[in-house]
Amino acid sequence: MPSIEEIKKSVISKLRYSLCLELESATNADIFNALALTLRDYQLDGFFNTRKVQKATKSKRLYYLSMEFLLGQSLRNNLTNVGLLQQAKQAIEELGFDFEQITAEEPDAALGNGGLGRLAACFIDSMATLDIAASGHGIKYEYGLFKQVIQNNKQVEQPDDWHSTHSPWLIEHHSQLMLIPIGGHIEEGEDSEGNYNPMWMDWKVLVGIPHDYLVTGYGGKTVNTLRLYSAGASDSFDVHIFNRGDYLRAVSEKIASENISKILYPADEIQSGKELRLTQEYFLVACTLRDIFHDYAQISSDITALPDSVAIQLNDTHPALAIVEMMRVLVDEHRLDWAVAWGITQKTCAFTNHTLMPEALETWPVALFEKLLPRHLQIIYEINHRFLDEVAEKWPDKPHLLASLSLFEERGEKKVRMANLAIVGSHKVNGVAKLHSELITQTLVPDFYFITPEKFTNQTNGVTPRRWLQQANPNLATFLTRQLGNGWVTDLDKLQRLKKLAKDSGVVEEIQAIKLKNKQALCRQIAAQQGVQLDPLAMFDCQVKRIHEYKRQLLNILHVIHAYLEIVESGHTQAPKVHLFAGKAAPGYAMAKLIIQLINEVARKVNSDPRTKGQLSVLFLEDYKVSLAEHIIPATDLSEQISTAGTEASGTSNMKFAMNGALTIGTLDGANIEIRDAVGEENFYLFGANADEINTHRQAGSHNRIYQNNDPAINRAVEALISGRFNADTSIFWPIYHMLTEGDHYCHLLDFDSYRIAQQQAQADFSQQLQWHQRALLNIANMGSFSSDRTIKGYATEIWGIGS
Ligand code: 26W
């Protein structure tokens, strides 16, 4: 381990010889870069060592394919995991800089939309920490998720130029560039032995350039990689067109190729249907498979034994083309028999589903496939043909199965169903929480469950305690280490031992003091950034996540409106409460954007009304991202997890909040159910209909109007939307009013009363501070199983065949 002096020396040397700067003229950003480069050297030593060990032990390797990795900042995380945080802090201070300011310089790597991308980031941390030979594979987007600014109470999107080309964490491997064919057409033919041998002709070439981001496990022993590919154009291809004299076309095609990795698609839970997106998905998969076959060639020449050494995890259907590309390589390039190739592919691949939303399920027009990936389309037809033949033979009395299991949607424009492809090509299919996995088998793909029940399994999500406890909440981490020793960081079940301390009022007061400190810090940050003063003694009630109808930020803000009207119209008083909201709406999602506007208009009204002073504040925090979450979560008293039952696959912020000592107000949805089981029902504010009841309610048709009329509290809050109270233009929030009262798929008003009662209870309980923090402590103590280490152990033994 380097000494403080050595770190200082290295920072100065990096400034001088890598960045051409002297200490005297260095800015905070320069120091950040120099420290990151210094740290990277230590990570690289670990990386080479890891490679040697993994090679020597012939470890089975896991490839995690994901279109999104929502990494956030890396400096503090890498320093912590390498074990150099304290030394680096000291070194930076001794060089005359403020360490907190240096870490704040780092732009978030926002290469993801939300839950799915952040899960991938937690997983690579856990895999390295558990010494699993693994690599993440994704796209090096030049622009990450857009930056959100609020103007006139509305969301405005700005490009997120996160300086991907200068990131000190990314190591470009230009020498390993890969050539990816796309487009063209198929010419039928036979090989010398008369076997069918189609030729993929006239394709264009994309170039993939790998960049490695080093993923250091906690303790620094294992350093894996996250490999992100950027797209370029091939020179040889250019020459081809140049020679034909078509200079302008050559240049524009070059630009088009480079555009492939330009931007992350900002819509989650809704499929864009854009050609560029399908190209991105193929690009990721094709680059990754070249790496997989290249790696495998280093350890074996027996391609049929590949599943013994390689496992591939597909993060949703976005990389499902890996199945097809693998078949293409095995059949067309390795000349394997189809059935042999198919056996290898199925044994290697596994698929995780992350959503039940029908609008998120990917389908791609056959015509688009024909244009971009003619050979892959042929292969999909062949997979489908053989698969359906088998089904027809096995279940001759169930012909209806064929339509639902087919890889093609035949109604309307013919489309490829990516979920069906992913299921057929995988040996395991998993959901991300118990309820979600159950709903997959019962409502999403019951016919697949019928034919292959053994494929389906559950792996409840988890979050890395390194980032979400140790780093985000140093005050709590210090307390935990004092009480439990250091072991909890890699063995979160150790938190159980806190249980017996819950009766010790001195300990509970410490928990209370830690929360207060975190709230004070958040208040300072909000005051500095948004100029708003909040009372840290108030109850902090937070809902931070993507803005979506199903997540029901509307239910939350309707209840805030209700509380406001109680104060100003009914003369009610309440203990101080702060409602924090944050989250981005997909740029094309009009209803979600209107919800943001409503929250901001309500906030403006409530905060400027002298009658609510000291009782009610509402704030929408701009530009939600990982680094902001790290400040909000440790400062939260009440965590809002209020999705309509049966819609949130798992949720992961619910875990982060509870782990940091927030109590949850939530529905029986996703992992909320398991969290409630773990922390105890008395330490969780449950409300609302369960998934079955929602189903029944929906089937009976929408009864929202009746609910509204029967309950004056609901009526008053809902009518306030169109009364001009929050915006002089009474028509602005009509779409929301209309949706709530005339056909609301997410049943806001159905759950309103039950939510209001739970909120009231939480509010009353919060006045009993000692009891409240005792229950907060019990939440923390029981969250051990929501470490992503537990999740990854589950994947490793039950899906990947690693470490068992
Ligand atoms: C094709 C467009 C698209 C993009 C992203 C569709 C769907 C997605 C994701 C599936 C959205 C997502 O992030 N889902 C979330 O995944 C988390 C991790 O498993 C879960 O905790 C969340 O409940 C789920 O909404």
**Is the per-residue pLDDT at 707 higher than 90?**
no
CA dist 657 and 545 (Å) reads 12
Token pair for residue 724?
A: 């001009």
Residue 698, class by beta-carbon neighbours within 10 Å (0-12 exposed, 13-18 middle, 19+ buried)? Answer: middle
Distances (CA, A) of 67 to 166, 268, 603, 648: 21, 12, 35, 20
- Give me ligand 1 centre to Cα 112, in Å: 10
Residues having CB closer than 6 A to ligand 1 are: 113-116, 119, 267-269, 271, 316, 354-355, 360, 362, 432, 461, 648-652, 670
Atom of ligand 1 nearest to the CA of 461: 19
- What mean pLDDT value characterizes the chain? 95
Q: Can you tell me the distance from the alpha carbon of 634 to that of 517, in angstroms, rounded to the nearest whole number?
A: 10
What is the per-residue pLDDT for 567?
98
- Pocket probe for ligand 1: among 66, 284, 316, 667, the residue whose CB has the most ligand atoms within 8 Å is 316
pLDDT at 189: 85
The end-to-end CA distance of the chain, in Å, is 33
Q: Looking at ligand 1, which atom is closest to the CA of residue 652?
A: 21
Integer-rounded Cα radius of gyration of the chain: 27
Active site residue 398: no
Q: Could you report the per-residue pLDDT of 157-192, keeping only the tens digit for each?
A: 999 999 878 899 999 999 999 999 999 999 988 888
Query: What pLDDT, on a 0 to 100 scale, did the predictor assign at position 188?
Result: 87
Q: Which of 6, 92, 91, 72 is nearest to 41 (CA)?
A: 6
pLDDT over 80 at 804, yes or no = no
Residue 516 Cα to chain centre, angstroms:
29
Q: Is the pLDDT of residue 241 over 60?
A: no
Q: Side-chain half-sphere of 376: how many Cα atoms within 13 Å?
A: 31
Q: Ligand 1, residues 118, 119, 269: which to mutate, most atoms within 8 A of Cβ?
A: 269
Question: Which of the two residues, 58 and 381, has the higher pLDDT score?
Answer: 381
Cα 683–Cα 684–Cα 690 angle in degrees, nearest 5: 145
Coil, strand, or helix at residue 638? strand
* pLDDT tens-digit map of 46-55: 999 999 999 9
CATH number of 539-784: 3.40.50.2000
**How many CA atoms does the CB half-sphere of 789 hold within 13 Å?**
21
> Would you call 551 a catalytic residue per the annotation?
yes
Task: Answer yes or no: is pLDDT of 12 > 60.
Answer: yes
Q: Is the pLDDT of residue 704 over 70?
A: no
**Protein residue closest via CA to atom 10 of ligand 1:** 354
b or e along 311-345 (b: 16 or more beta carbons within 10 Å of the residue's beta carbon)? bbbbbbbbbbbbbbbbbbbbbbeeebeeeebbbbb
User: Which residue, among 407, 265, 759, 696, has the nearest Cα to 558 in the 3D structure?
Assistant: 759
Over pLDDT 70: what percentage of the chain?
98
pLDDT score of 282: 98
Residue 1 has a pLDDT of 84
Q: What is the mean pLDDT of residues 707-734?
A: 91
72 has a pLDDT exceeding 70: yes
* pLDDT of 243 over the 80 cut: no
Q: Cα-flanking dihedrals φ and ψ of residue 396, to 5°? A: -60, -25
What is the model's pLDDT at position 185?
Answer: 94
What pTM does this model have?
A: 0.97
Question: Both tokens of residue 629?
Answer: 């979450």
Segment 324-330 shows an average pLDDT of 98
Token duo for residue 793: 């152990």
Average pLDDT over residues 422-449: 98
Three-class SS of 679-736: HCHHHEEECCCCHHHHHHHHHCCCCHHHHHHHCHHHHHHHHHCCCCCCCCCCCCCHHH
Q: Which atom of ligand 1 is nearest to the CA of 651?
A: 21
Asked whether the predicted pLDDT for residue 242 surpasses 80, the reply is no
Distance (Å, whole) CA 243 – CA 785:
62
Residue to mutate, 355, 464, 647, 672, ligand 1, most ligand atoms under 8 Å from C-beta? 355
Which residues neighbour 640 within 8 Å (Cβ) at sequence distance 6 or greater?
A: 541, 542, 543, 556, 665, 666
> How far apart are the C-alpha atoms of 735 and 146, rounded to whole Å?
25
Instruction: Give me the pLDDT at residue 69, please.
Output: 98
Q: What is the mean pLDDT of residues 679-701?
A: 95
How many residues in the chain? 804
Say whether 204 sits in a helix, a strand or coil.
strand
User: What's the pLDDT at 502?
Assistant: 96
- Judge residue 293's burial from the number of C-beta atoms within 10 Å of its C-beta, 0-12 exposed, 13-18 middle, 19 or more buried: middle
Structure-block tokens of residue 369 = 């496939």
The string of pLDDT tens digits covering residues 244-273 is 667 777 777 777 788 999 999 998 878 888
**From the alpha carbon of 352, which atom of ligand 1 is closest?**
19
Does the annotation mark 460 as catalytic? no
Residue 192 DSSP label: T
Amino acid 753: pLDDT: 96
What local confidence, expressed as pLDDT, does residue 271 receive?
84
Average pLDDT over residues 616-635: 98
Among 354, 466, 467, 515, the one annotated catalytic: 354
Question: Where does 320-373 have alpha helices with state H?
Answer: 321-328, 338-348, 366-372
Q: Is the pLDDT of residue 5 over 70?
A: yes
Active site residue 225: no
Question: pLDDT for 285-322, tens place per residue?
Answer: 999 999 999 999 999 999 999 999 999 999 999 999 99
Confidence grade of residue 803 (pLDDT, cut at 50, 70, 90):
confident
Residue 366, phi then psi, degrees to nearest 5: -55, -35
pLDDT at 702: 63
Average pLDDT over residues 462-484: 98
Is residue 605 annotated as a catalytic residue, yes or no?
Answer: no
- Candidates 551, 579, 605, 773; catalytic one: 551
Better-scored residue on pLDDT, 456 or 233: 456
- Supply the pLDDT for residue 461: 98
Residue 392 has pLDDT above 70, yes or no: yes
At 249 the pLDDT is 75
